[in-house]
Amino acid sequence: MINVLFVCLGNICRSPMAEAVFKVKVAEEGLEEKIHIDSAGTGGWHIGKPPHEGTLSILRENNIKGDDLSARQFSPDDKRFDYIVAMDDSNAANIKEVLPEEFHGSVFRLLDLVEDSTEKDVPDPYFTGNFQEVYRLVESGCSQLLIKIKKEHNM
């Protein structure tokens, strides 16, 4: 099983959006039995809460289920994930503070995978309100992540 974890600050906007979008992409490829997907936040303010209404709204607009997700906090146990996908540079730094150094190689930003992207950090819509733009970036990054995983695991 390949384990993928999306991480943002509070786990109610960007990372659950990425988790939901990526689950659809994985299912479309028939790989849901081979790829486990989760999300977490580096902060613990929203533990147990559902995604932000803005995230749920944009997911519904795109016929993606997300109302079964709930926030959790990133922990040292998350080193078990093969791919730890941060939404921005700050999240990546926070993740690396929690993990032993030998696991830092599994941490990268989602938009690092999108070659033609002028942005490398997915902006936090909790503060900007721009869930549509975040969805566009997440969708693009998730597509590239699936390509990367399929290539690296000969799928």
Catalytic residue flag (residue 121): no
Active-site pick, 14, 38, 72, 121: 14
Catalytic residue flag (residue 68): no
Q: Quick one: angle between helices 131-152 and 53-61, nearest 10?
A: 70
Sequence-separated (6 or more) residues with CB below 8 Å from residue 12? 41, 46, 49, 50, 51, 52, 55, 71, 126
Radius of gyration of the chain, Cα coordinates, nearest whole angstrom: 14
Active-site pick, 8, 72, 88, 121: 8
Active-site pick, 78, 88, 121, 124: 124
Catalytic residue flag (residue 78): no
Residues annotated as catalytic are 8, 14, 124
